[in-house]
């Protein structure tokens, strides 16, 4: 097999907002490579609907900080939250300088409101197509020192003398090695490890396992968020919380308000709403009759309902996997415990979300921490080093069977027996050195799922338990 070798200053794994923000703010003298596992648009950032929370038009960032902390029920880190909301005040104008145009009405911005926010402070673009509009503008602004390569699967990081110096990868099916002065993981979360998700299919926990294999610390892996309103059709997709902010109510089949017991009603924090809906028993709908100018403000939703033959006045919804608050532990500059390795965006645990992320704080986190990673990065050139990857020797059918099992426990109330069964079924899979892209992709997913399963099982005893054990790739003789 021919082996291509590529040498860059900075390798960024991912092409969503965290990756692009980092690339936009790195010095222009650096040679930067951004890699997408599938196409460049296959990211959760591109799918974002609600928008970006910012206290830009408020007197201070305090109220935003309070709402963030309260939504997390006191589990987020106060200092990090302050940093997020304070630096996030500038995010809107900073993005505008790169060409992003947020929706306006008359002289000012049109602001949305979402669950657990005390004020309307969600900036959006193209109505409910914020992600697509923002990413289009920012990718267009990428400077000439940044190259974007699609269909690249990074399957292992290479470490030399305690420092990450590159990665093993596939470009389509072809083996490929990238040497880098620094590596940034911006791979997103874990949503697409299951089918019932709001996430883009490429987001399957790769960054977690890549970091874990080289000894980075992972924290709070059990902190997984379920979004209350995925469209209840065969191919689920998000129905933005901004719709409830605009007046939609969650009702049962008789039109009764399902969240009437909660002081914030349908705009209660996400975890509360998701739990109520999961335990409700019967079907739940979004009653949108009081939402003004729905088609104009939520064009994407209107089109989707039309395509699926759903009456937009009464939209069937149910909760689904949405966001991972836990991840690769980083300091306030996105540095992991391993030299040369950074993590940013959903893959990182920055401490700002705690156990329940406040709506529309995720794109904000990508921007604020992406800038911080870029501004503090230490790039150290390196010579060629090799590392031989191994993968589980498993055919497609075997993998699909195990993937189905993940869907049985990666739910809002994980079943302990299913967790144990999955761990047992995956604990001694055969390994091979004859790696292919498919085998490596499957292996990353199974290993990421195993990390989560162990974290969820340990949560039974200790909610804040960290997973620090390293994965060992022992090859049988």
Interface with ligand SIN (CB under 6 A): 49-50, 238, 240-242, 359-360, 362
Query: How would you label 10-31 residue by residue, b for 16+ Cβ within 10 Å and e otherwise?
Result: bbbbbbbbbbbbbbbbbeeebe
CA dihedral 31, 202, 375, 51 (to 10 degrees): 130
Contact 22, 343 (CB under 8 A): no
Q: Which residues contact 377 (CB under 8 A, 6 or more apart)?
A: 10, 26, 182, 342
- Measured from the CB atom, the residue of 27 and 118 that comes closer to ligand SIN is 118
- Is the CB of 242 or the CB of 373 nearer to ligand SIN? 242
Shortest separation between residue 366's beta carbon and ligand SIN, angstroms: 11
Question: Which one-letter DSSP state was computed for residue 347?
Answer: G
In the bound state with ligand SIN, the residue whose beta carbon lies nearer, of 14 and 127, is 127
CB of 353 to ligand SIN, least distance (A): 10
The residue of the chain with the least Cβ separation from ligand SIN equals 50
Q: Which is nearer to ligand SIN, 213 or 244 (CB)?
A: 244
CB of 127 to ligand SIN, least distance (A): 11
Task: Classify 74 in phi/psi space as left (phi over 0), alpha (psi -120 to 50) or beta.
Answer: left
How far apart are alpha carbons 72 and 355 in whole angstroms?
Answer: 5
Neighbours of 301 (CB within 10 A): 27
| Euclidean distance between CA atoms 7 and 33, whole angstroms | 9
Q: Smallest gap, in angstroms, from Cβ of residue 49 to ligand SIN?
A: 4
Q: Rounded to the nearest whole angstrom, what is the least distance from the CB of residue 44 to ligand SIN in the complex?
A: 9
Residue 175 · residue 388 · CB < 8 Å: no
Which position among 270, 318, 335, 357 bears the catalytic label? 270
268 token code pair: 């209660």
Helix (H, G, I), strand (E, B) or coil at 306: helix
Beta strands in 14-88 (DSSP E): 32-35, 52-53
Listed residue (150, 251, 165, 159) closest to 213, CA to CA: 159
Under 8 Å between Cβ of 184 and 169: no
Q: Is 213 a catalytic residue?
A: no
How many CB atoms neighbour CB 427 within 10 A? 8
State CA 51 to chain mean position distance: 14
Minimum CB distance to ligand SIN, residue 360 (Å): 4
Identify which of residues 130 and 389 has a Cβ nearer to ligand SIN in the complex: 130
Nearer to ligand SIN, 241 or 329 (CB): 241
Residues serving a catalytic function are 270
């Amino acid at each position: 097999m021919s082996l291509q070798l590529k040498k860059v200053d900075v390798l960024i794994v991912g092409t969503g907002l965290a990756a692009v923000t980092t690339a936009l703010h790195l010095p222009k003298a650096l040679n930067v490579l951004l890699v997408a596992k599938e196409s460049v648009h296959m990211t959760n950032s591109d799918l974002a609907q609600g928008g970006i929370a910012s206290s830009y038009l408020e007197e201070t960032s305090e109220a935003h900080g309070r709402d963030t902390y309260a939504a997390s029920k006191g589990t987020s880190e106060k200092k990090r939250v302050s940093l997020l909301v304070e630096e996030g005040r500038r995010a809107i104008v900073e993005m505008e300088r790169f060409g992003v145009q947020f929706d306006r009405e008359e002289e000012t911005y049109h602001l949305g409101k979402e669950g657990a926010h005390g004020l309307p402070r969600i900036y959006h673009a193209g109505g409910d197509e914020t992600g697509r509009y923002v990413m289009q503008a920012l990718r267009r602004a990428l400077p000439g020192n940044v190259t974007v390569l699609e269909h690249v699967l990074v399957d292992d990081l290479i470490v030399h003398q305690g420092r990450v110096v590159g990665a093993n990868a596939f470009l389509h099916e072809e083996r490929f090695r990238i040497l880098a002065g620094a590596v940034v993981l911006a791979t997103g979360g874990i949503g697409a490890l299951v089918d019932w998700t709001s996430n883009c299919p490429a987001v399957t926990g790769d960054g977690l396992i890549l970091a874990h294999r080289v000894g980075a610390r992972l924290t709070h892996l059990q902190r997984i968020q379920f979004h209350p309103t995925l469209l209840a059709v065969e191919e689920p997709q998000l129905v933005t919380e901004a719709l409830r902010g605009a007046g939609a109510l969650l009702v049962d089949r008789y039109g009764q308000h399902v969240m009437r017991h909660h002081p914030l009603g349908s705009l209660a924090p996400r975890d509360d709403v998701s739990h109520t809906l999961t335990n409700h028993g019967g079907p739940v709908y979004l009653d949108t009759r009081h939402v003004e100018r729905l088609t104009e403000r939520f064009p994407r939703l209107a089109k989707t309902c039309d395509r699926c033959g759903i009456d937009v006045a009464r939209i069937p919804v149910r909760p689904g996997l949405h966001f991972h608050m836990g991840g690769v532990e980083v300091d306030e500059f996105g540095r992991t415990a391993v030299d040369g390795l950074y993590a940013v965006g959903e893959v990182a645990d920055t401490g700002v979300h705690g156990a329940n992320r406040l709506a529309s704080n995720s794109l904000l986190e990508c921007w604020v921490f992406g800038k911080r990673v870029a501004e503090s990065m230490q790039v150290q050139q390196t010579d060629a080093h090799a590392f031989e990857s191994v993968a589980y020797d498993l055919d497609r059918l075997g993998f699909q069977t195990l993937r189905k099992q993940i869907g049985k426990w990666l739910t809002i109330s994980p079943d302990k027996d299913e967790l144990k069964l999955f761990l047992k079924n995956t604990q001694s899979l055969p390994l091979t050195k004859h790696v292919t892209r498919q085998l490596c992709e499957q292996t990353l997913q199974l290993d990421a799922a195993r990390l989560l399963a162990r974290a969820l099982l340990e949560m039974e005893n200790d909610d804040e338990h960290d997973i620090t054990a390293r994965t060992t790739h022992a090859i049988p003789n």
